[in-house]
Structure 1
Amino acid sequence: MTQRRTLLDLVLAVGFLAVATAIAVAHRSPPSGYEWSIYTGTPTLTWVALGLALAVAVGVTIGTRGWYQAGAIALGGLAVTSIVSLPVIRNYHFQGMGDSLTHLGWVRDFVQGTMQPHELFYPGLHAVATTLHLGGGVSMERALLIAVVLLFVPFVVFVPLIARDISGTGAAAGFAAIASWMVLPINNVATHMGPHTNSNALFVVPVALFATVALVSRRSDLERLPFGISPFTVCLFLAGVGLLLVHPQQMINVVVFLGALAGVQYLAKRRYDDHPMVHHPSLFAPAVMLGVLFVVWAAANARFRRAFSGLVSGLFSRDIGTGSTVGQRGGSLTELGGSLLELFAIMFLVAAVLGAIAALFVLATWLGRTSLDPDGRSYVTYFALALVPLGGMFVVYFLGTPTMAFRQVGFIYVVLTILSGIALAHLFGWLTGPLTTPGANALAAVFVAACLVLTLVTLFTSPLIYQPTQHVTEQQQFGYDTALEHRVDEQLYAGFGYGINRYGDAHYGTEAGSEINYDGGAGGAVLVEEFEDGNYREAYHGADYYFTVSAYDKARELEVYDELHHSEAALEEIEREPYADRLISSEEFTMYSVEGTPS
């Protein structure tokens, strides 16, 4: 026994040393320019060391219990958090296009005082970043990336705690921890790893779910606050407020989750005299309390009203769901030599498999074929039935605003991560009979290791999923800033497949620059057909325009998309266009002033 403990101590020490080595090597290898893949840009030694750490974490988590398992869970959580932190560790200037640049703009608004936190519908992430910037002296860009990491940590901490509370076993906690390392809520369709508040809020959701389970399961009078209030009710309320501030969509999902559980409790009390649910504290009051809080916060917000009206109009439009978008994407993938089936396998296969395992486990629980006690079966029933209204919301979103539907999938997979962890513990526990414990543990380690590899290689966007990494270099942002500061006579901007508007948010502030017209409402990118035909004067509706192209644009259009829309020849030919003058030029950013067709 002493030798085994010594061996486990040594193995865990090697795992933590591997993480430290990975971080040190990554930190000493900052990017020299734009990286179109964070995976290939990060040193191989970093990935080897992180792989070793995760292998140790998986093996010890599955094969041990008690303190050694806790240490392995901490090791695995640290390794995955290190991967999430790579943009910070490797000193990326910024990471994230689109919404991320707009969120950076809101941070700038807070710092400049052009907007107060309470004026923004979801100021949580931005307030944390502003605090880090003002208190820590780091740049706003870096502060926002650090804030993303801080909001990620609760996910890997609370998921295994919830699984342990539900099942009462270390095996369920261990497998749930491993499932959390897969980061299944990120799908890179509508949820992303980076400054993206809807996605960031998903990682705070387990705090609210843990408080819910604890409120239901821990009923001792010793844990009561004055007036008989449970401390877990207070924790649930605070978690709900936190979610409201990070992103209200995920907070309202928690309200729906609580409402579903309250409904199940009501039905159980109507049907049974002696069932664990009958004795559980009602969740009706917390659901109503958080629901009212959401309504009060959202009703007065114009942004929420616009989003809601967009959802309603989408429900009644003729182009229902994602059919046309999927058709276009499928055609583009075919031209690139890929397919939707291949892309689905890369991005969603593990999620689909674990979702199926969780569903079969729920069915087995209802049939009485699991070793869960009555309380554990009740919690599984709670979580499973809560997926019904959450799935209904997915359908509504899918018919109205498909992007919101895939955000809803993100929340659903927070719940399924917990259920799948418990399910895997029961599955491989059952296999100890025919395979013996060492055999079942070995099979489990191989299975979850394969899942980890498949999910972590799609944690960030990369050419593997036909999207270059959204790396914003300092030189690239400086180029856009210069372009914006030296604009003449409100001339319009047009990009090489990507407009300048979001960089305008980051430069001026999203609120401060809201009145600035960057592209005349014409889309922000040059017209593909005219540009490729060499008709540069007509490439932006005949108007005078600034043509901008960054290293990211080139990587996306020429390398990842393999010149599907834009060609390198057309980009080079503009150098010889007599009506185009190059104004800014660097390795990361170029801008031309192009004279349009006289009216």
Structure 2
Amino acid sequence: MSRATLDWLFAAGFLALAAGIGLARASPATTYEASVYAGTPTAVWPAFALALAIAVATSLACRGRRQAIGVGLGATAVTAIVSLPVIRGYHFYGMGDALSHLGWTRDIVEGEMAAHELFYPAIHSLGSIFHLLGGVSVERGLLFALVVVFVPFLAFVPLVVRDLSGSALAVGAAAVVSWMVLPINNVATHMGVHTNSNALFLVPVVVFAVVAYLRRRATVERLPLGLSPFSVLVYLSGIALLLVHPQQMVNAVVFVAAVSGVQYLVRRRYADHPLLEQPTVYTQTVVLGAIFVVWAATNRRFREAAEGFVAGIFAADVGAGGEIDQQGSSLTEIGGSLSELFVTMFLDAAVIGLVVGLFVLLAVIGRTSLDEEGRSLVTYFAAALVPLGAMFLLYFLGTPNMAFRQMGFIYVLLTILAGVAIAHGVGGCSRLVPRSAATALAAAVLGACLVLGLMTVYASPIIYSPGQHVSEATFNGYETGMDRGVEDRPYAGVGYDPYRFDHGINGLEGEDSLTGGTAASGEVDADAFNAGDYAGAYGGADHYLAVTAFDETREFDVYRGIRYDEADYRGLESDPSADRVVSNDDFRMYDVSGEE
């Protein structure tokens, strides 16, 4: 393809991307949206699809500067998709933990606590900076922080692969796989203000620092105390990862320790080996481990989490089998199935995992075209996957939710290895078919996986999980209800405990935080509620009942009434025990008189 044609293609891609962003920006969200995808104007998606199609093709087929432009186009398009809540003016995105993180950020901004008092203050500090210096709301500042932390993932995955193999095709393939955002699985890792998930996007920076330290052995760039620029980068990136979330820092220490272990074994066994020419990472392992221990040992929340993990392993009811069976039964009731959900959520991850697994096996037995140093670096990754996989199994036995967080980290490494694996796969196929045909086949498969990956970056009804958009109306409804409610009267929700909104509205440290009402908050009893016994649905006590558009979408559009009956739900309006005291388009709060 001629340079002029490529230039026109790039121009079309960037223009399409700009048009898509402009269309999305011109259609702000005014009420709750169950899906970021469905809420975005339809015309935006063909524009983004064109930009991504050009990016995939040029990232794999081009070399040099034009490949870099293609990678940049694709990374910008994916960043735009991840940024849709910001572009379309969402008040906030994320419920559960995200609202608690919002509360901590509000505490920092209002001086109720210092940033260093948090165990992992990086995201909260970034959100505070955007609020204080940029003049945006605290909620919007956190959404900006989410995007800022996401970008290094797209930038550093291809940079790591460039050091791993030096193959331009591997770099392009790794970039495309990074656009699938495989570490986000919507089981325990989420695209939102969720610090454990956000930390995954910084892991490639740590991996890049380690690989660069191993490969770029410059002696003229030594710093005081025997340091090199890349060893300093290892420490700084490790500290940044720790401040975003310590669990992923633990995994990073395990990765570096695995590299140390391989180096130690090689030095004990061989007198002449390519690995002997590489600098050791013993010091980096000890320093990173010590940083984590010093930071974590005095933190109460860390100790409680560790105790809960150990208790979970030795509990009588271990594993996730029962939970999976229950979820499968529920899916069947609403017309879905686990197999359908697996295809939607994990088929792309399964394909990439299979490709990488086969490649690592061939690399270990010496059946690839990698040079000696490249093979040694892949060996490091393979060695690290062993303890990381063992940790996944332990988590699965003790706290299954944590297992899927562990899977997120593992898929960061698999994303990196995928670039090298795909490049070698194309090279192998080119012995049987023309290289252009092999590259085109790889582009088609990666393009299909990319669609699946981007379809599930955000939760939506397509995976039976409504989006966690917190509209301004919902936020204001909770704020009004909690500000004007009777002191210490509990707040109840339909399938959702309102106390998280108290976190987001009032913070967690101030005098107004966790009032008696929200400290006693919870969910109404589904059986009593479905029987029309609204007065007795919360233990017979007087309470406020919050009902949001999110609740209605989840219970009736997604779950199709398997937990709450819609007719009895509508009966609230005419029941004499329930008075509506707050109401807007997305939120209603009822003052329900109990039986006591």
Bin the TM-score by the shorter chain. Answer: over 0.9
Match of 2:369 among 366, 371, 376: 371
Q: Aligned equivalents of 1:270 and 1:468: distance in 2?
A: 55
Over residues 81-119 of structure 1, what are the superposed CA-to-partner deviations in whole Å (9 max), with x where a residue is unaligned?
110000001111111111111110011010111111111
Q: Distance in 2 between matches of 1:469 and 1:336?
A: 18
Q: Which amino acid is the alignment partner of residue 47 of structure 2?
A: A
1:350 to 348, 351, 365: 348
Tell me if the contact between 1:185 and 1:413 (Cα under 8 Å) persists in the aligned partners: yes
Secondary structure of 2:322's counterpart equals: helix
Out of 27, 37, 42, the position equivalent to 1:29 is: 27
Tell me the residue number matched to 2:69: 71
Give the superposition deviation at 1:464: 0.4
Q: List per-residue Cα deviations over 1:335-371 (Å, max 9, x = no partner).
A: 0111112111211111111111101001111222211
Q: Find 2:110's aligned residue among 83, 87, 112.
A: 112
Aligned residue in 1 for 2:546: 548
State the match for 2:8 in structure 1: 10
Percent identical residues? 54
Give the C-alpha shift of residue 521 in structure 1.
4.6
Within 5 A, what are the aligned runs for 1:104-143? Answer: 104-143=102-141
- SS of the residue aligned with 1:518? helix
Q: Tell me: CA distance 1:211–1:575, structure 2 relative to 1, closer, same or farther (3 Å).
A: same
Question: In the alignment, is the contact (CA less than 8 A) between 2:499 and 2:519 conserved in 1?
Answer: no
- 1:18, 1:53 within 8 Å by CA — same for their partners in 2? yes
Contact 2:487 2:517 in 1 (8 A): no
How many angstroms apart in 1 are the aligned matches of 2:93 and 2:585? 18
Deviations 1:141-181 (A, max 9, x none): 10000100000000000000111101111111110001100
| 1:455-508 CA-partner distances (Å, limit 9, x unpaired) | 110000000000111111101100000111012131111111112111000011
| 2:288 maps to which of 287, 290, 295 | 290
Task: Give runs of aligned pairs for residues 77-476 of structure 1, distance below 5 A.
Answer: 77-476=75-474
Structure 1 residue 43: Cα displacement: 1.0
1:30 alignment partner AA: P
Instruction: Render the CA deviation track for 1:193-218: whole Å, top value 9, x for unaligned.
Output: 01000000000010000000000111
Displacement, 1:50?
A: 0.6
Cα separation, 1, equivalents of 2:570 and 2:217: 71
1:517 aligns with 2:519: no
The one-letter code sitting in structure 2 at the alignment partner of 1:101 is L
**The residue matched to 2:545 in structure 1 has which SS?**
strand
Distance change >3 Å, CA 519–CA 542, structure 1 → 2: farther
SS at match of 1:44: coil
Cα distance in 2 for residues equivalent to 1:537 and 1:520: 20
State the 1:388 CA deviation: 0.5
* Secondary structure in structure 2 of the residue aligned to 1:538: coil
Paired residues in the alignment total 595
Query: What residue is the counterpart of 1:526 in the other structure?
Result: 524
CA deviation after TM superposition for structure 1 residue 319, in Å = 1.2
Structure 1 unaligned regions, length at least 5: none
Q: Is this contact kept in 2: 1:233–1:286, CA < 8 A?
A: yes
Residue type matched to 2:155 in 1? V
State the alpha-carbon separation in 2 of the partners of residues 572 and 61 from structure 1: 54
Could you tell me whether the CA contact under 8 Å between 2:426 and 2:442 is conserved in 1?
Answer: yes
SS for the counterpart of 1:331 is helix
Aligned equivalent of 1:486, options 467, 484, 487: 484
Say if 1:208 and 1:520 are closer, same or farther in 2 by CA, change over 3 A: closer
Structure 2 Cα separation of the partners of residues 489 and 86 of structure 1? 38
Shift in Å, 1:519:
4.9
Cross-structure match for 2:58:
60
Q: Is the 8 A contact 2:489 2:516 kept in 1?
A: no
Q: CA deviation digits over 1:2-60, x for unaligned, max 9?
A: x7011111111111111111111100011121111111111111111110000000001
Measured in 1, the distance between the counterparts of 2:259 and 2:350 equals: 25
How many angstroms apart in 2 are the aligned matches of 1:144 and 1:588?
22
Q: Return the TM-score normalized by structure 2.
A: 0.98
Partner of 1:48: 46
1:514–1:277: structure 2 CA closer, same or farther, 3 Å change rule? farther
SS in 2 for 1:433: coil
SS at match of 1:494: strand
TM-score (norm 1): 0.98
Shift of 1:514: 5.3
**Partners of 1:217 and 1:534 in 2: how far apart?**
69
Tell me, in whole angstroms, the C-alpha distance in 1 between the residues paired with 2:341 and 2:96: 22
2 CA distance for matches of 1:40 and 1:241?
38
- In structure 1, give the amino acid aligned to 2:95: M
Per-residue deviation, 1:223: 2.7
For residues 306 and 282 of structure 2, what CA distance do their matches in structure 1 show?
25
> Does structure 1 retain, via aligned residues, the 8 Å contact 2:297–2:303?
yes
Instruction: Select which of 497, 500, 514 maps to 1:499.
Output: 497
When structure 1 is superposed on structure 2, of 427-436 and 533-542 the one drifting more is: 427-436
Q: Is the 8 A contact 1:500 1:518 kept in 2?
A: no
Q: List per-residue Cα deviations over 1:290-331 (Å, max 9, x = no partner).
A: 111101100111111111111111111111021222122111
Match of 2:592 in 1: 594
Alpha-carbon distance in structure 2 between the residues aligned to 1:28 and 1:564: 37
Instruction: State the secondary structure of the residue aligned to 2:579.
Output: strand
Give the whole-Å Cα distance in 1 for the aligned partners of 2:270 and 2:14.
50
Matched residue SS, 2:181: coil
Deviation at 1:515, TM superposition (A): 4.6
Which secondary structure state, in structure 1, belongs to the residue aligned with residue 31 of structure 2?
coil
**Pairwise CA distance, 1:262:** 0.1
CA deviation map 1:542-575 (0-9, x unaligned): 1111011011111111111111111221121111
Distance in 2 between the 1:54 and 1:346 partners? 20
Whether contact under 8 Å (1:527, 1:540) holds in the other structure is: yes
| Shift in alpha-carbon separation, 1:515–1:504, aligned structure 2, 3 A | closer
| Amino acid aligned to 1:134 | L
Q: Which residue of 2 aligns with 1:579?
A: 577
Deviations 1:280-299 (A, max 9, x none): 11111101101111011001
CA distance in 1, matches of 2:103, 2:466: 22
CA distance in 1, matches of 2:253, 2:85: 33
Return closer, same or farther for 1:208/1:139 CA change in 2, 3 Å cut-off. Answer: same
Give 1:128's aligned amino acid.
L
Q: Is the 8 A contact 2:174 2:415 kept in 1?
A: yes
What is the one-letter code of the residue matched to 1:496?
A: V
Give the Cα–Cα distance (whole angstroms) in 2 for the partners of residues 479 and 227 of structure 1. Answer: 58
1: CA distance between counterparts of 2:487 and 2:209? 57
Displacement after TM superposition at 1:273 (Å): 1.6
Task: Give the whole-Å Cα distance in 1 for the aligned partners of 2:392 and 2:137.
Answer: 38
